[in-house]
Structure 1
Amino acid sequence: MSAHRNMDDKDIDATHHELAMDKSLKRHGKGSNPTGTVKLVEDGEIVLIPTPSPDPRDPLNYPQWQKWVITFVLGLFSVLGVLMTSGMGPFVTLMQSYYDYNPHTDDLMTYPTLFMGIGNVIAMPLAMAIGRRPVFLASALLLTVGSIWCAASTSLGSHIAGRDVLSLAAGQSEALCPLIIQEIHFVHERSSRLAWFSAIQSIGTAALTIATSYLVSSLGWRWWYGVFSIASGLVFISAFTLVPESRYDRPTDAFEGEVHVHHEGEEQVIVHATTKNRVPLDFINYKARTWKHTLAIMHPPANWKEALTCYKQMGQCILFPNILWVVLMNSVSLGIYVIGVTEYASVLGAPPYNYPTTSLGLVQGGQIVVAMIMVPVLGYGGDQLYKLVARRRENGTVESEVRLIPMLLPIVVLLISCVIFGRAASHPTEWSPWAITTTFSGLYFAYIGIILNGYTYSLDSYAERAAPILVLICAIRGFISFGISFGVTKFITEQGFQGAFDICAIIAGVVAALGIPIFVFGWWIRKVTMKYAVDGRTAEF
């Protein structure tokens, strides 16, 4: 079992690496499975994928309670990041009045989504080079500093700049946090853990958005920043104490569930693990976990070449048809949700509904219900379906395309919500206000459901390309959201609510339909693109 000892050795020469890559690809050659098709069940037991090493410091070997703690802290960071960037809705009219209706006041709401995307593009390659922990801690600290900046700002320009800074940090809630969750969990439990992360984000953000109206009216908008800057500081302290480094170099075949250990180029042992037959920890050849090791901000050495490699891999992965479709589906669902979140208040606040401002904040409470539905249905349900398919097959294998099946539900909800929302907003006297509030929650359910299933499908398909794929998904949808935010009012004015949302439904339907060939030909797509998605690292001793 000491074979994992040197699998992160940086001194393997280029020739040896090429031989390792060649052997890895031969194992994936004609007649074998591409990346993303794995043997999940063997003799009735769930195979642990990736294969954990015998190293006590391997994040996959963390106890379950610690994995839950890490997920919870990441969720809290995400709550504050999303709230600070997009939670101004309940008092945006107050800010317009405060700045004498300066047209640039809208930049307080529109620019954060752009800078969240920029934050992903900068931070994720950096996390590949120096590790996840220092980047996450820097982001938590920057979110605190940015919030204090906004609270103390003396001009609109300074206020906008402060929000841009905190948005750079908040962007890590979209890519870095899911990456860490992916790295500390096995394939068969990722969907449920990511669902819990999204649920914490959704419930926390919704609850604090509702509280925002009362907080601002009682203490003023500056203390809104002040209160949550204190909360961000507490999250930073919690992260420093409780969130260790999750980066761990693994051989390529660990992502297949079987590690082929090599000695001088010859295969010697196959390391295999299941839920009932774990890899025993080796305290002789590896160091035990210590608080000193856990609290270290950075585990050297840094590899700056990895940052450039991440950008290169982003360029490759966006050309994968399945990843491109996931990016488009994410972007479409976000774009439609942005339109809904921008316009629902104006519809409900106007006659005949005449909702007061505090009640408009309560509409966000529907997201709490959405989160409670999402965890069992899309989270645990997705994992159970994944395992069920593997159990029903004689060889116990399962394809990553199974992760796309649960996406049908949020897609259907998205299309129905678009149609009803548009008609109810265009003809309010003919529809109950519940048509707006329910379908608004439906748009949110569709958005986070498509994100969840898109993440799990992409990460299961190309486990060794998790970072660049997450950057692509998050950054591109952030840029699209920024573009949409500038054109929503004109779009609604020209098309009307019904026309605008009918167009949205058509676009969403067309993009969703493109998922059919992705599902049917997914195995072949992964087979063809595999040479760009497999590093070919081997376990040596």
Structure 2
Amino acid sequence: MPGSAVDVKDEGAEIAHHELSISKPAHQNASGTVTLLENGEIILIPTPSPDPRDPLNLPTPQKWAIDIILGIFAIFSVLVTSGMGPIFSTVMAYYDNNPRSSDLMTYPTLFMGIGNIIAMPLAMAVGRRPVFLASALILTVGSIWCAASKSLDSHIAGRDILSLAAGQSEALCPLIIQEIHFVHERSSKLAWFSATQSIGTAALTIATAYIVSALGWRWWYGVVSIASGVVFLLAFFVVPESSYPRPSDAYDGYTHIYRDGEPVSVVRATRKNRVPLDYTRYKARTLSHNLKIFHGPANWEAAVTCAKQMGQCILFPNIFWVVLLNSVALGIYVISVTEFSTILSSPPYSYSTSALGLVQAGQIVVSLLMIPILGYGGDQLTKWIAKHRNGVAESEIRLIPIILPVVVLIIVSIIFGHAASHPYQWSPWAITVSYSGIYFAFIGIVLVGYTYSLDSYPERAAPILVLICAIRGLISFGISYGVTKFVAEQGYQGAFNICAIIAGVVAAFGLPVFLWGPKMRQFTMKYAVDHKIAEA
């Protein structure tokens, strides 16, 4: 029937085309355990439907365009919320060094987390497209608000509002990417998104000092508002709705078609053998359909369900570990980003403001390294191991690459602390390189955590992304208030040694997650699979 997620025009032809029988039971494996390869061919997971309006059937160039637009949105979201560091002293001087000026730096992370908690359930109810468009528009208006603010209180309020929208770069954008791409390419696509955000943000953070020197800090917001407005216009014409109802077994790579409660055929798709688009039972994708903001009435029950699922998913041992490791990595990065400018601007290094901005160039380098190593490398590793396991891929394979960023995080944290405590004995490169290393570890852990979680529980992508982003945002907010006291009490060396120990201990719990992850996923399936079916 037309309203189903998967439909077939001719049952017999469909079975013959895919060379499958209907004896394969649905959900025989734990969520996240899939057959990725068969006879040397990559199986498309989730199984795309014959519907031309299925987001998985979007043309590849449009998918790349969507990824780029989401990446640009993320660049300016992160820049305007977290990129004030190089110009903070200038802004603070404008407000006569009012101690409350620090709220301009600390509150955005809190409101980004709140933004995720509000927007993701809303996206489940009304769709991804309207929430993303609203976020781009609010980011534009909020930036104009800050540029035109007449008082510190107004400036803080404007940053809080735009941060609510900027939070969608952390959860909603990865969700959209997950919904338009297949499992075998997910790591590389998320790596491109993360690298685009990181490289763009680093480059513009470097340029921030020069923009403010030439035009003043208000025009820094002006640039962000213009760019966000352009993103809104591009997204309106290019980014369609990515939400699409799928049967649960589509995430196994085999979609069973039922009629009157009985299975009648099985649909499978590979890269070389796609499911033919059916223009008889489904409508073609048109420009008017793409530009439509709301698709159908709002499903507010879905928003409530999303909130309920967040409470369930945080109790999954493997997801709790991912959230905790993300939070630890962010905490260490927050401490380093808060302290590095103080260390390098003081004797014996005495870096200038422009030189401090150039330190961000290291983030460009490590972001470029992340794409082939953790992005394409993660996808290739998954396919290689699946090839040697009769085509079966476990989502825990995605955790193997996390070893690199974890090891880097521990080592460079120790180096950063020692160099900061003994600046006359260490080169400034020890600070700049270890600072970039901490950033590489943070974005690497985020990337692998996203990919593992989305592969493990594809039907719980939204609540899991909210958990990861919101909790680490709240932790970041808490850390930002305690960094100065923590470092003052422990010293740089003691503080970062403690950070390295905590990172090592939390990372060590990844071993039982890796070994017993399939059993964890099997046990939690009743809370993570909706058992939706496709009716013929």
Partner of 1:195: 191
505, 518, 532: which one aligns with 1:523: 518
Equivalent in the alignment of 2:460? 465
CA positional deviation for 1:60? 0.3
Post-superposition CA distance 1:187-208 (Å, at most 9, x none): 0000000000001101100000
- Equivalent residue number for residue 291 of structure 1: 287
Rounded Cα–Cα distance in structure 2 between residues aligned with 1:79 and 1:200 = 7
| Separation of aligned partners in 1, 2:481 and 2:121 | 29
Provide, for residues 160-217 of structure 1, a one-character-per-residue CA deviation record: whole Å limited to 9, x for no partner: 0000000000000000000000000000000000000001101100000000000001
Give yes or no for the alignment of 1:363 onto 2:337.
no
Q: Partner of 2:244: helix, strand, or coil? A: coil
- In structure 1, the gaps of 5 or more residues are 10-24
User: Partners of 1:442 and 1:376 in 2: how far apart?
Assistant: 16
Whether the 8 Å contact between 1:4 and 1:54 is mirrored in structure 2 is no
In the alignment, the residues of structure 2 paired with residue 140 and residue 474 of structure 1 have an alpha-carbon distance, to the nearest angstrom, of 19
TM-score after normalising by structure 2? 0.96
Counterpart of 1:180 in structure 2 is: 176
How far has the Cα of 1:318 moved from its partner? 0.1
Q: Distance in 2 between matches of 1:529 and 1:357?
A: 51
Aligned to 1:19: none
Taking only the aligned residue pairs, the percentage that are identical comes to: 70
C-alpha contact 1:4 1:539 (8 A) present in aligned 2: no
* Residues 296-305 or 103-112, more deviating: 296-305
> Does the CA contact (< 8 Å) of 2:6 and 2:50 recur in 1?
no
Partner of 1:327 in structure 2? 323
Counterpart of 1:157 in structure 2: which amino acid? D
Shift of 1:104: 0.7
Shift of 1:27: 4.0
Give runs of aligned pairs for residues 322-471 of structure 1, distance below 5 A. Answer: 322-394=318-390, 396-471=391-466
Letter in 1 for 2:495: A
CA distance in 2, matches of 1:345, 1:393: 49
Residues in 1 aligned to 2:418 and 2:234: alpha-carbon distance in whole angstroms = 47
TM-score, normalised via structure 1 length:
0.95
Secondary structure of the structure 2 residue equivalent to 1:429: coil
What CA distance in whole angstroms lies between the structure 1 residues aligned with 2:245 and 2:81? Answer: 34
Aligned to 2:12: none
Q: Distance in 2 between matches of 1:509 and 1:4?
A: 52
When residues 326 and 4 of structure 1 are mapped into structure 2, their CA distance, relative to the original with a 3 A threshold, is farther
**Aligned match of 1:489:** 484
Q: Is the 8 A contact 1:120 1:172 kept in 2?
A: yes
2:16 counterpart residue number: none
Say whether 1:504 aligns with 2:502.
no
Counterpart code for 2:340:
Y
Secondary structure at 2:265 match in 1: strand
1:7 aligns with 2:2: no
Q: Which amino acid aligns with 1:6?
A: S
Partner of residue 12, structure 1: none
| Equivalent-residue separation in structure 1 for 2:388 and 2:6 (angstroms) | 37
Matched, 1:532 2:527: yes
1:141 is aligned to: 137
* C-alpha separation in 2, matches of 1:281 and 1:145: 41
AA aligned to 1:458 is S
> How many Å separate the matches in 1 of 2:315 and 2:201?
34
Q: Which position in structure 2 is the counterpart of 1:302?
A: 298
Q: Give the alignment partner of residue 67 of structure 1, picking from 60, 63, 66.
A: 63
Quote the offset at 1:4 in angstroms.
7.1
State the 1:33 CA deviation. Answer: 1.4
1:333-363 alpha-carbon deviations (Å, 9 max, x no partner): 0000000000000000000001000000000
Which residue type is aligned with residue 307 of structure 1?
Answer: A
User: CA separation in 2, counterparts of 1:516 and 1:222?
Assistant: 49
Distance in 2 separating the partners of 1:8 and 1:328: 37
Local SS of the residue matching 1:430: coil
Structure 2 counterpart of 1:469, one-letter code: I
| Counterpart AA for 2:117 | V
Question: Where does residue 211 of structure 2 map in the other structure?
Answer: 215
Asked whether the equivalents of residues 310 and 467 of structure 1 are also in contact (C-alpha less than 8 Å), the reply is yes
CA distance in 1, matches of 2:297, 2:190: 29
The offset of 1:26, in angstroms, is 7.6
Stretch of structure 1 that moved more, 420-429 or 226-235: 226-235
Distance (Å, rounded) in 2 between the aligned partners of 1:283 and 1:64: 20
Please point out which of 240, 248, 251 is paired with 2:247.
251
Q: Any conservation in 2 of the 1:41–1:397 contact (CA below 8 Å)?
A: yes
The residue type equivalent to 2:210 in the other structure is Y
Tell me the residue number matched to 1:127: 123
2: CA distance between counterparts of 1:176 and 1:289? 23
Q: Which position in structure 1 is the counterpart of 2:469? A: 474
- The aligned runs of 1:229-240 (5 Å cut-off) are 229-240=225-236
1:262 pairs with 2:289 = no
Whether the 8 Å contact between 1:40 and 1:397 is mirrored in structure 2 is yes
| Whole-angstrom CA distance in 1 between matches of 2:66 and 2:26 | 35
Partner of 1:165: 161
1:77 to 64, 67, 73: 73
Amino acid at match of 1:37: T
Distance 1:203 1:95 in 2: 25
- Matching residue's letter, 2:467: L
3-state SS of 2:48 partner: coil
Q: Any conservation in 2 of the 1:5–1:285 contact (CA below 8 Å)?
A: no
Q: Give runs of aligned pairs for residues 46-57 of structure 1, distance below 5 A.
A: 46-57=42-53
Compute the displacement of 1:301 (Å).
2.3
In the alignment, what sits opposite 2:39? 43
- Which residue in the other structure is 2:10 paired with? none
Q: Equivalents in 1 of 2:330, 2:240: separation in Å?
A: 31
Name the amino acid aligned to 2:309.
Answer: Q
Moved over 3 A (4+): 25-28
Counterpart residue number, 1:14: none
What does the per-residue CA deviation read over 1:128-181, in whole Å, with 9 as the maximum and x for residues that have no partner?
000000000000000000000000001100000000000000000000000000
- SS class of match (1:521): helix
Query: C-alpha separation between the residues in 1 aligned to 2:189 and 2:372?
Result: 11
* Offset from partner CA, 1:258-285 (integer Å, 9 cap, x none): 0010000000000011111100001111
Contact 1:52 1:273 in 2 (8 A): yes
Q: Aligned equivalents of 1:449 and 1:316: distance in 2?
A: 26
User: Quick check: 2:53–2:283 contact (8 Å CA) kept in 1?
Assistant: yes
1:280 aligns with 2:276: yes
Q: Aligned to 2:359, what secondary structure does the other structure show?
A: helix
1:271 to 258, 267, 274: 267
How far does residue 7 in structure 1 lie from its aligned partner after superposition? 3.2
Structure 1, residues 68-113: CA drift from partner, whole Å, max 9, x if none? Answer: 0000000000000000001100011112211111111000000000
Q: Is the 8 A contact 2:26 2:249 kept in 1?
A: no
Distance, in Å, in 2 between the alignment partners of 1:26 and 1:480 is 43
- Name the CA distance, whole Å, in 1 between partners of 2:53 and 2:246: 13
- 1:10-29 aligned within 5 A: 27-28=26-27
Deviation at 1:8, TM superposition (A): 8.8
Corresponding position of 1:96: 92
Structure-2 residue corresponding to 1:22 = none
- 1:155 is aligned with what amino acid? S
- Among candidates 505, 508, 514, match of residue 513 of structure 1: 508
Is residue 109–residue 477 contact of structure 2 (8 Å, CA) maintained in 1? yes
